[in-house]
Homo-oligomer: A and B are copies of this chain.
Amino acid sequence: MSDVSRLAGVSKMTVSRVLADPELVSEATRTRVMKAIDQLGYVPDRIAGSLSSRRTNFVTAILPTLTNANFADTAQGLAGALRAADYQLLIGYTMYSLKEEELIVRAMLARRPDAIVIAGTVHTKAANEMLLRAGIPIVEIWDVPEHPIDHAVGFSNYEVGRLAARHLISLGHRRIAALGSRIDGDAMDLRGEARLQGFAAVLREAGIADDLVIREGSAPVSYDHGARTLATLLQRAPDVEAVFAVSDISAVGALMECHRRGIKVPEALSLIGFGDFDIARQCVPAISTIRVDAAMIGRKTGELLLSILERDNASAPITQSRIDIGFDLLIRETTAPREPG
C-alpha cells in the first residue's frame, strides 16, 4: 500500500479510501490511484485490514462432514449468500464427534470470525460456553431447538420421524422398522437419532411395537450401511412390511439390497428415506422420502447473518431468530398400501 501511495503521490489514507469508499475521493485522484494499483498488481492485505477494523469478514461453518450431499448443499447455499457481501466461509467438519467439535470451535475462535454457524443443538459444555461468550452471532442449523444459544435455522427432526411413521401406518402397515446408526460411540448422528425417536414414538402411540428400530454402525451412514442394516432387519423380522431409513443414502443401499435379494419394492416392502437426495428420485423405483431444502438452510442462514452483520443502524435491536423451514413428504414409488396376504 505504501508503494501504491508513493507511486500515486497520495497518502496511504487516500489509497485506503479509494478501495473502501471510492465516491469520497475526487475522480482525478481516484483514477491516479487505480492506475498505480493496476501497475503494481497490488492486492490489499485483508489480514491487516481485519486487525485494524476488528472485522474479518469470516464466517465459520461447523458441519459433521463435507461428504454428505445435504451438508454440501447447505455449505454452498451459505457461501453463496455470503459471497456477495464479501464474506469468506471457514469450514470445519467434526466427523459427528462432539469432542472434535469442541476442538474446532476453539480453533475457529482464534480466527476471529464475525459469526459462527454450527450444525446441531447439542454441544459439549466447554463448546457451549465458548459459543456463548464469543460475542458474535451464533446460528445453530439443521434443527430447531427450544432454546438456541442464539439463532437457529432448521426444522424438527423429531417431527420428520413422526411424519414418516404416520405415512407408513396410514398405508396399513403394522410390522414397521427403522434403520439408523448407533449413538454410543464417539461419532453420533444426533439429528438422525431424533428422527428415530419421533418415529418410534408414533409407532408406540399406534400400539405398534418399536422393536424393529435398528441402530447399527456409527455415523455417518452410507449406502453400505443401508444394505447391511436391511440384511440384519430381514434376519430379525422376515415379516417386516415397511421401513424408514434415517437417510436417503441408507434407503438407496437398502433398496439395492432388496434388488439383489429379489424382494419387490413396494409390493413386498415399503421403503421411505429422508433428505431427498438426487439419487433417491433417480432410483428405480423412485424412493419416497421426506424432503428438506438443505441449500435453503444455508441461504436463510446467510441472509439472517447479513441482516445482523450489515445492518446500518448498529443500535437496532437484534431479535433472536428461530427459523423453521419445514419439510415435505414426497410419496414416490417405494411406499404403497399393504398388500393383503
Contact = CB atoms under 8 A, between A and B. Distances in A.
A262 to B, nearest CB: 11
Contacts of A90: 88, 90
Nearest to A285: B259
A122 interface: no
A341 interface: no
A93 to B, nearest CB: 7
Interface string A254-281: 0010011000000000000000001101
A112 interface: yes
Interface string A55-86: 01000000001110100110110010000001
Given A43-B110, A253-B282, A282-B227, A67 B69 contact: yes
Interface in A204-255: 222-224, 227, 252-253
B133 A107 contact: no
A41 B130 CA distance: 8
A67 B72 contact: yes
B278 A43 contact: no
B43 A51 contact: no
A156 to B, nearest CB: 25
A106 B46 CA distance: 12
Chain A contact-residue range equals 35 or more
A302 B312 CA distance: 41
Which of A47, A91, A227 has the most chain B CB atoms closer than 10 A to its own CB? A47
Given A73-B67, A110-B44, A256 B283 contact: yes
A43 B106 contact: yes
A284 interface: yes
Interface in A118-147: 129-130, 133
A318 interface: no
Interface in A269-326: 278-279, 281-284
Contact of A76 (B43, B66, B79, B133): B66
Interface centre among A45, A56, A107, A110, by most B CB within 10 Å?
A110
Given A88-B107, A93-B79, A282-B223, A112 B51 contact: no
A259 B278 contact: no
A34 interface: no
A177 interface: no
A170 interface: no
A16 to B, nearest CB: 14
B93 A91 contact: no
Given A45-B110, A252-B279, 7 more contacts: A47-B111, A65-B76, A66-B66, A66-B76, A67-B73, A88-B111, A89-B91
12 contacts: A41-B130, A41-B133, A45-B51, A66-B66, A66-B75, A66-B76, A67-B76, A88-B107, A88-B111, A90-B90, A91-B91, A224-B282
Q: Which 4 A-B pairs have the closest CB atoms?
A: A259-B284, A223-B282, A46-B110, A67-B72
Interface of A: 41, 43-48, 50-51, 56, 65-67, 69, 72-73, 75-76, 79, 86, 88-93, 106-107, 109-112, 129-130, 133, 222-224, 227, 252-253, 256, 259-260, 278-279, 281-284
